[in-house]
Structure 1
Amino acid sequence: MDLILIFLFLIYFAWILQILKSKSKKPRKLPPGPKPYPIIGNILELGEKPHQSLTKLSQVYGPLIHLKLGSLTTVVVSSPGIAKIFMQKHDQVFSSRNQPGAVHALDHHKLSMVWIPAENQWRKLRKICKEQMFSAPSLDSGQGLRRDRLQKLCEYVHGCCVGGKAVDIGRAAFTTSLNLMSATLFSEEFAAFDSGSGEELKEVVWGIMESIGKPNLADYFPVLRSLDPQGILRKSTVNFRRCFHIFEEIIGKRLEMRGVDPAAGTRKNDMLESLLDINQRNESELTILDIKHLLLDLFVAGTDTTSSTVEWAMSELLRHPDKMLLVKNELREVIGKNHEQVTESNISRLSYLRAVVKETFRLHPAAPLLVPHKAAGEDTEINGYTIPRNAQILINAWAIGRDSSTWLDPESFIPERFLETETDFKGQHFELVPFGAGRRICPGLPLANRMVHMMVATLIHNFDWKLDGGLNPQQLDMNESFGLTLQKTIPLMAVPMELQIF
């Protein structure tokens, strides 16, 4: 009872401070929005699926709205035109991050490329990632690695096919993504299909994503941060520690190998080796602590987002057998009919497959509200409205992808809409921004682009599919579960069948 009274008093105290601060400021013309309740503001407006709730609010108040989430001032952008103003015209002003309490675990908010301000340390980390992992030459050199992981996915699905067993598409894609990232970063494979290996890391990654995406009272009322009333920071800390423990063991072994005989041919062609080279040349440029936090960013961001997109793409294709057939026929025409393996060089020739991926990103962006931005510096005027300094900026990519003023029949899965347009998701077309845009665009976009196309192509080119349990396509559940990434509420279970060659 005492804790509840303290909790209520702190919220009341925060509310009084908020009122006093607002009275001391000059009146500003804020964007429109629903009237906030005392103390809690508009928190109740969010619901269990904030991306959908915010979309409905934008249909009432317009594409630029203002909310009060406890003491947190939030501005929501829900149209391509206004997104362009925020992420291109005023990119520098809005390039900071609003840091949720969950990423304060182990001071990750001070060291993470995702969450630190876009200043010197951020530029240095981003340059390292671009040069060592995401440049075209680096990606090309890793094609064999990705091909091996896709072959293992194919072998697993073939085993299910022979046994008449359903495949959990999202989990299979997650295992493939997990192994790709672990091989790229550490030259190790962390998980196996249909076994308990890698389950700890899967739990860690999902736990981290859940903690960051979950609504947190401590974010809405910073005075509660030290109390951590929902235990989100505690859970996040546990998962960060588990992940760092794995990294520390791998780094320790690698440093030990280097110390024995640096020239004995024990060097590995992976990201960790490159990071340790930088560290040993100049420790002040990149410390071991920096490396651990960077590896965490890369590992978490590179697994869940890719696998969820593959699951959504396969779900849409199974719901629309005519679209599935068009993809399959294109693959047969470009790749061949005799189980030839798809290669990354084929992607540029697979126009309908690329359209399917774009349409999946439009309807099911992996991060529906992107990673929160923050207004830095002074108040900024956008479209006649004041955007207060330090306000949280949410770019509703889910709403932008379903904007009826931009897209014809926006709720329908129509890949053909992309066949006659140059619209892409690489940061230049603001009607399709699943990876963000501007200086904060996701640096892993080039790798995610290759992996999503290759996984979808591999699953379709080598197998025919039917829904588990005899469901017909229209019975497939397409409900969403909101987190930092958008997941299917009910996993996609599909039975692979021997490919019918005509």
Structure 2
Amino acid sequence: MRKLCTLELFSARRVQSFRRIREEAVANLVASLTAAAAGETSVDLTRMASTVTSAITTRAAFGKAQELTDAANFMVVVDNISDLLGGFRITDLYPSLTFLPALTGLKAKLEKMSKASDSVLDQIIDEHKSRRTRAATTKDDRHGSYKEDLVDVLLNLQEKQVDLGAPPITMEVVKAITLELFLAGIETSATTIEWTMSEMINNSRVLQMAQEEVRQVYGDDASLDQLNYLDMVIAESLRLHPPGPLLLPRENGNQKVELSSYEVPINTKVIVNVWAINRDPRYWKEAERFLPERFMDYSIDYKGTDFQFIPFGAGRRMCPGVSFGMAIVKLTLANLLFHFDWVLPAGQKSIDMTECFGMTLRKQYALHLIPVSYNRVPFE
């Protein structure tokens, strides 16, 4: 399944095909912020970051023609599942007590969420099948007015049963991948945007340098590759605030493994603490300081080739949607820096950086800022 995601869903070509979707969603964000700037009012940037990432992911997965009610219903289900999985449960402390999920009501809640998810996804998939049938029997061709989204790609693979070295692609697999895309994608991208803006507000020198770069070279999605300092800012934000502070558990299989001076027995689950690695003074000078310049001579590729910096994991099990998520993060931040200066609400001297652990490493308190429109017309 991971190979399927890498080759078919999140390839460079596929991510680039969603460029217009990203631009439209970010343009809507800028319009909302411009209205707030005109009224000199504070905005909840935490909520707005979540809104823009949700809009992009929903359009990429379901397409513009999908009924908004279906997409909205699905987002409610995703939010509920995220809250359920991200919170602390007594069953986490005593996993061997198999009766606890039923006793605490967790099992019933999970079953309820599973049924709700299946119901909404069935409606969305049925609508896609109807659209595909209409497109095949009319002049509505696949390369014209009919635009394929991620659900269409999965349905294509399911129909053709393309051999990617994985088990057959059943309808349950289609639904599972769609749900995982939302659970893993929306909150991680939104959280990265929030943390990066927070760090820049608390570090005025970094904010000024990032804005100067963006306002000199940024014009559209094509010029994002030229924003080298912004790349360093994002990387440093991911170092200090990795979206997933603990990588998903992995099992070492049927042989013992030695890690440093520790022996990991056969069939033992191992959890990598990315947060701790990223702040280890053995690998990072002034590890607690926000210093983007540390990445000046560092190849930032997020491919997990350097084990001291693996915000998205490493190897075959790393996050397959990195390019999709980072495209959203960078475009959003570039626009926030290009179009606006940012001011703290009255009486606030800095951003509270207290962390709150859930499915991702979030800020405990929402980020509230006042946008001030920047009145330079680009590319005159």
C-alpha contact 1:424 1:432 (8 A) present in aligned 2 = no
1:354, 1:477 → 2: CA distance?
Answer: 24
Q: What is the number of equivalent residue pairs in this alignment?
A: 367
- 1:498 equivalenced with 2:377 (yes/no): no
Going from structure 1 to structure 2, the CA distance change for 1:317 and 1:442 (only over 3 Å counts) comes to same
Going from structure 1 to structure 2, the CA distance change for 1:260 and 1:198 (only over 3 Å counts) comes to closer
SS at match of 2:255: coil
Corresponding residue number in structure 1 for 2:329: 452
1:270, 1:404 → 2: CA distance?
Answer: 44
Unaligned stretches of 5+ residues in structure 2: none
- 1:481 equivalenced with 2:359 (yes/no): no
Between the aligned residues of both structures, percent identity stands at 31
Alpha-carbon deviation of 1:371? Answer: 1.6
SS at match of 2:284: coil
- 1:221 equivalenced with 2:94 (yes/no): yes
1:414, 1:247 → 2: CA distance?
Answer: 43
Corresponding residue number in structure 2 for 1:366: 243
SS at match of 2:271: strand
- 1:235 equivalenced with 2:118 (yes/no): no
Going from structure 1 to structure 2, the CA distance change for 1:178 and 1:240 (only over 3 Å counts) comes to farther
2:344 to 467, 474, 498: 467
SS at match of 1:458: helix
Residue identity in the other structure for 2:85: I
1:234, 1:461 → 2: CA distance?
Answer: 48
Alpha-carbon deviation of 1:461? Answer: 0.6
Alpha-carbon deviation of 1:362? Answer: 0.4
Corresponding residue number in structure 1 for 2:298: 421
- 1:254 equivalenced with 2:128 (yes/no): yes
Going from structure 1 to structure 2, the CA distance change for 1:439 and 1:410 (only over 3 Å counts) comes to same
C-alpha contact 1:206 1:304 (8 A) present in aligned 2 = no
Corresponding residue number in structure 2 for 1:115: none
1:304 to 167, 187, 192: 187
Corresponding residue number in structure 1 for 2:208: 325
Judge which range, 362-371 or 158-167, deviates more. 158-167
Q: Aligned-residue CA RMSD in angstroms?
A: 2.6
Alpha-carbon displacement from aligned partner over 1:50-96 (angstroms, at most 9, x marks no partner): xxxxxxxxxxxxxxxxxxxxxxxxxxxxxxxxxxxxxxxxxxxxxxx
Residue identity in the other structure for 1:493: H
Alpha-carbon deviation of 1:261? Answer: 5.8
Corresponding residue number in structure 2 for 1:383: 260
Corresponding residue number in structure 2 for 1:179: 55
Corresponding residue number in structure 2 for 1:169: 45
C-alpha contact 1:347 1:354 (8 A) present in aligned 2 = no
Alpha-carbon displacement from aligned partner over 1:162-197 (angstroms, at most 9, x marks no partner): 2222221121111111111111111048999xxx99
2:287, 2:108 → 1: CA distance?
Answer: 40
C-alpha contact 1:278 1:285 (8 A) present in aligned 2 = no
Greater Rg by CA: 1
Alpha-carbon deviation of 1:467? Answer: 1.6
SS at match of 1:164: coil
Residue identity in the other structure for 1:380: V
Corresponding residue number in structure 2 for 1:96: none
SS at match of 1:262: helix
1:148, 1:180 → 2: CA distance?
Answer: 9
2:358, 2:215 → 1: CA distance?
Answer: 37
C-alpha contact 1:205 1:304 (8 A) present in aligned 2 = no
Going from structure 1 to structure 2, the CA distance change for 1:445 and 1:191 (only over 3 Å counts) comes to farther
C-alpha contact 2:70 2:124 (8 A) present in aligned 1 = no
Alpha-carbon deviation of 1:434? Answer: 0.8
C-alpha contact 1:364 1:398 (8 A) present in aligned 2 = yes
Alpha-carbon deviation of 1:431? Answer: 1.3
- 1:412 equivalenced with 2:284 (yes/no): no
Going from structure 1 to structure 2, the CA distance change for 1:413 and 1:131 (only over 3 Å counts) comes to same
Residue identity in the other structure for 1:332: R
TM-score when scaled to structure 2?
0.88
1:360, 1:329 → 2: CA distance?
Answer: 19
- 1:442 equivalenced with 2:325 (yes/no): no
Corresponding residue number in structure 2 for 1:142: 18
Alpha-carbon deviation of 1:492? Answer: 0.2
Alpha-carbon deviation of 1:199? Answer: 6.7
Alpha-carbon deviation of 1:456? Answer: 0.9
Alpha-carbon deviation of 1:202? Answer: 4.7
1:242, 1:469 → 2: CA distance?
Answer: 43
TM-score when scaled to structure 1?
0.68
Residue identity in the other structure for 2:194: E
Judge which range, 421-430 or 453-462, deviates more. 421-430
Alpha-carbon deviation of 1:238? Answer: 2.9
SS at match of 1:302: helix
Structure 1 segment 271-310 matched on structure 2, within 5 A: 271-282=150-161, 285-310=168-193
Going from structure 1 to structure 2, the CA distance change for 1:412 and 1:295 (only over 3 Å counts) comes to same
C-alpha contact 1:317 1:324 (8 A) present in aligned 2 = yes
2:76, 2:261 → 1: CA distance?
Answer: 46
2:353, 2:66 → 1: CA distance?
Answer: 30
Going from structure 1 to structure 2, the CA distance change for 1:331 and 1:134 (only over 3 Å counts) comes to same
C-alpha contact 1:160 1:496 (8 A) present in aligned 2 = yes
Alpha-carbon deviation of 1:262? Answer: 2.1
C-alpha contact 1:139 1:447 (8 A) present in aligned 2 = yes
1:155 to 14, 24, 31: 31
2:126, 2:70 → 1: CA distance?
Answer: 21
Structure 1 segment 109-128 matched on structure 2, within 5 A: 125-128=1-4
Alpha-carbon deviation of 1:245? Answer: 2.2
Alpha-carbon displacement from aligned partner over 1:427-452 (angstroms, at most 9, x marks no partner): 11111111000110100011112111
Alpha-carbon deviation of 1:134? Answer: 1.1
Going from structure 1 to structure 2, the CA distance change for 1:252 and 1:484 (only over 3 Å counts) comes to same
2:189, 2:112 → 1: CA distance?
Answer: 24
1:487, 1:415 → 2: CA distance?
Answer: 20
